Chains A and B, each alone.
Chain A
């Protein structure tokens, strides 16, 4: 009898220990029920306008609401900074803020799996109208919130009907980044083949091409290995071409047609696409048949180490992890890092600015509990209105499109400042990020593959054109179903 008892106890102990081992989340369960009870409390008071009064520092109200914030961060380069900011917010208000950063290029995957959990992100981001289509079930209407009111240009938000579902929290710009020191060295050469005497005088593709090709010929004199850094085509590292560069021909075609998106395209500016792409791959520090295993960090390192004079990228590539300023052995002085618009030979491009836009729209999970939503809104508003949050945003995020930010809050990094300056120049027209309408990742990937085949000499340019046009039509159709 005793034996039996022992056996039974033992097996029960074993069973429970096994189950404990599996259920790592069990400790968090009480929180969830707590939220639900708070939920009903909130419902009875029920006025959302209350948020306006609840300012950042008001810790008693914030922690009493019981909501917590879970932010799924998109940018790995500022992941630790977000965590530090969140910790500071928790310290000040007592509201729990969890920040998880998705690894580079895996945001969609991570979001997909995180959202399915009980403890889903309350704050996440989408990349624009296409992203909204896939996440609309999870995007809460933000039209009543303060941080929507702060938005300088309301048209930037992702909307549907009267609802506002995604709010951009940072605008970014990309173009051709150049190292002005190397450019000055070049313009000081006696036997240079161009008339102009500084990089700021490059105003169209023809001048750019003349300068670049002459520089490439004189690369030994300039002490560089090539004008452009590697046109990286490693899988997942080709977005600078299949998305950012491809934006230009698409933008000009849609502009001519007076559209923003279209189920079919003709690639009327395909030759312009080829112009700039050829210039990149033929005047580079890397042979064009060796691009398939180069990554973006490889290119940025080449630029930072002074092996290349130019690289196409955006203002995000200066600071942060893996940025120019963070590269070990960086030889490029901050004041020498400048932007040039991407000229492709389109008529009238002298007035073209940088490609400015955003792929970063904040959304609040509509399926989270109301207390969590409330806490999340408060957190976001704190980030973009408190001094500490604003300091973080200008330093780490770049140009924030909210009215709470004044001229004094301009970014301190050279590329961010350049974007601000370009935006402030009324003679220039920025190119919007039309690529938010690109149909799918598959479309971009396949365009990248076609470009790589072209670099490797395995296919003609016509194959790229075909892929762009056909891929566009099939992918638009595939996604529309």
Chain B
């Protein structure tokens, strides 16, 4: 059987390979090619060199969106991970109703981004109109914090589950040994638990980082960039560029390629850095 598997491996892998080729590899390379073209639809592209890239970088909206995205990502990654780790610690202490809590916290993650965006828009507007008398579009910082709250609400539960799994995997004999040695609970957390769940950190940081960077639905539904594109993130800016002007499709595509490179570099760097801190069980 082993031999047969080896022999027919290509046939078994073929369907997946073909699907991967059709759904990923081909569009990806077509996308890169199109970023060097002027086009209306993907079938009538005309090559025009790096003109799209010069336009993309000369476009102030792109830079603004990049800055906003980076700010958002930094705040979101920190808040989501800190809060979800704390929740995970709390929910591994064996309190009554732990399973119920875990389910409840996880549930927001099951709702789609657009729906969440609209719901939170209503909630935040309601509060803002009562408290300050303006709506979400009055000031870019309202939109910023609105997005942070929304993303925290959605992502904390998911990250919490990953941390819970990590924490439960910490061997109890290690903690017991530390206790016998007289370590305080803070020392146990710092020197035993955290190093042992480093692999969970790697995954969670990777997920939050890329999710925040690529955020689109929630951004579109909550503010759609209002006021004045000040809360538009990179993905939304790419979308706006693509559809905003006749003849600028290629520029949108060029922005998308740059976007891909940024996301890839940042997330790979993060992976390498946090991996190096992981300890073998």
Which A residues have a C-beta under 8 Å from some C-beta of B?
3-4, 7-8, 11-12, 14-15, 18-19, 22, 108-109, 112-113, 115-116, 130, 133-135, 137, 233-236, 287, 289-293, 439-442, 445-446, 449-450, 452-453, 456, 458, 475, 478-479, 481
A440 in complex: contacting residue of B125, B129, B135, B244, CB < 8 Å: B244
Q: A130-B246, A479-B246 are in contact. Are A7 and B8 (CB under 8 A)?
A: yes
A292 in complex: contacting residue of B137, B240, B244, CB < 8 Å: B137
Tell me the bound Cα distance from A199 to B4 in angstroms.
Answer: 88
Residues on the A chain within 8 Å of B8, using CB: 7-8, 11
> What number of A-B contacts does a CB cutoff of 8 Å give?
113
Count chain A CB atoms within 10 A of each CB in B1, B14, B246 and give the residue with the most: B246
Q: Pull 14 A–B residue pairs with CB atoms less than 8 Å apart, ordered by A.
A: A4-B4, A18-B15, A235-B225, A287-B133, A289-B133, A290-B135, A440-B244, A441-B244, A442-B240, A445-B240, A452-B226, A456-B227, A458-B139, A478-B248
Residues on the A chain within 8 Å of B245, using CB: 439-442, 475, 478-479
Residues on the A chain within 8 Å of B220, using CB: 235
Within 225-239 of B, Cβ neighbours of A (below 8 Å) are at: 225-229
> Which of B36-44, B162-170, B192-200, B264-272 touches A?
B36-44
B4 in complex: contacting residue of A7, A236, A289, CB < 8 Å: A7
Q: Which residue of A lies closest to B122 (CB)?
A: A293
Indicate if B18 sits at the interface (CB-CB under 8 A).
yes
Chain B, interface residues (CB within 8 Å), range: 35 or more
- Mask, B1-31, CB within 8 Å of A = 1, is 1001000100110111011001000000000
> Other than the known A8-B8, A134-B247, what 5 A-B pairs have Cβ atoms closer than 8 Å?
A3-B1, A440-B244, A442-B245, A475-B245, A481-B247
Please give the distance in Å from A14's CB to the nearest CB on chain B.
6
Indicate if B138 sits at the interface (CB-CB under 8 A).
yes
Indicate if B47 sits at the interface (CB-CB under 8 A).
no
Indicate if B190 sits at the interface (CB-CB under 8 A).
no
Q: Is the interface of A mostly helix, strand, loop or mixed?
A: helix
Residues on the B chain within 8 Å of A4, using CB: 4
Within 176-196 of B, Cβ neighbours of A (below 8 Å) are at: none
Residues on the B chain within 8 Å of A287, using CB: 133
Indicate if B148 sits at the interface (CB-CB under 8 A).
no
- CB of A12 within 8 A of CB of B244, answer no
Residues on the B chain within 8 Å of A7, using CB: 4, 8
B15 in complex: contacting residue of A19, A112, A292, A442, CB < 8 Å: A19
Please give the distance in Å from A197's CB to the nearest CB on chain B.
38
